[in-house]
Amino acid sequence: MKNVIITGASGGIGKDMALHFAENGWNVIATMLCLEHGKELQGRTNISCYLMDVTSTASITAAKKKILEDYRTIDVVINNAGVGYRSFVELAEDEEINKIVDVNWLGVVKVCRAFIPLFRSQQKGHFINISSIAGLVNLPLGSFYHATKHAVESFSECMAYELIDFNISVSTVQFGNTPSNFQKNVVKSERSSLLSYNVLMDRINLILKQKTAKNKDLKPLIVSELLKIAQSPAKNFKRVTIGFDANSLSLLRSKMGYRLFGRLIRQSVLK
């Protein structure tokens, strides 16, 4: 049986990922901030839960030590842990900026850094870094979330070049709004005295709510595609875009260029 580490596995897509991999014969090492939050995974066949705070090098090191006491090898690490922040730049708060950077960007860096030596010693391994369509295109009120996902994309591609000689490969996965706890937990900036800001926030919230509701079949597609990537990882760096929304936006952005794409966003969102 192959072994996969999944960060942020206590809920949302991470939990569904853990269950799907386990049902398909993988040993799942589900990491999370609080074991209490992962009750649905505890006691499940092929799933073991471990405490890990991806923002803390000490926590990652401690979790890695316990994991390697139970598992001799790791085949795949899926960096799934992430948070959302929807805010105007002017109204952004230091605490929320630091949090989203620490989890979405530096969390991926620290987990990869911790497990590269193991993959090198094994002479094999695959990192799957969960990005977002936000890592390929830019939309209103996403300054901080999009920036962290763009960072994950760049980091992953650079790292892949460094590791190819050691038979270690890297993939990123992008998708759009998916019905899960993630959307419910997105932090939003406070209402403003500026009418323009309030109108735009309401408009974006509504658009994303509607998109999320329409994508009810997206989550099963994501977890099944992730399993396929893990089962047959590409040797060279690969981006995998999943779902109609993500593929459409990615195609439009690449074909139209940033000026025409920007005009399209302004007409559809800022009207």
Catalytic amino acids?
A: 10, 131, 145, 149
Give which of 91, 185, 103, 207 is closest to 151, Cα–Cα. 103
Burial class (CB in 10 A: 0-12, 13-18, 19+), 237: middle
CA atoms of 112 and 110, how far apart (whole Å): 5
Q: Are 146 and 138 in contact (CB under 8 A)?
A: yes
Strands 168-175 and 85-86: unpaired
CA atoms of 71 and 186, how far apart (whole Å): 34
CA dist list (Å): 201 to 93, 161, 194, 267:
16, 40, 11, 16
CA atoms of 103 and 53, how far apart (whole Å): 9
CA atoms of 73 and 119, how far apart (whole Å): 8
Q: What does the DSSP 8-state code read for residue 133?
A: G
101-114 as b/e, with b when 16 or more CB fall inside 10 Å?
A: bbbbbbbbbbbbeb
Q: What does the DSSP 8-state code read for residue 185?
A: T
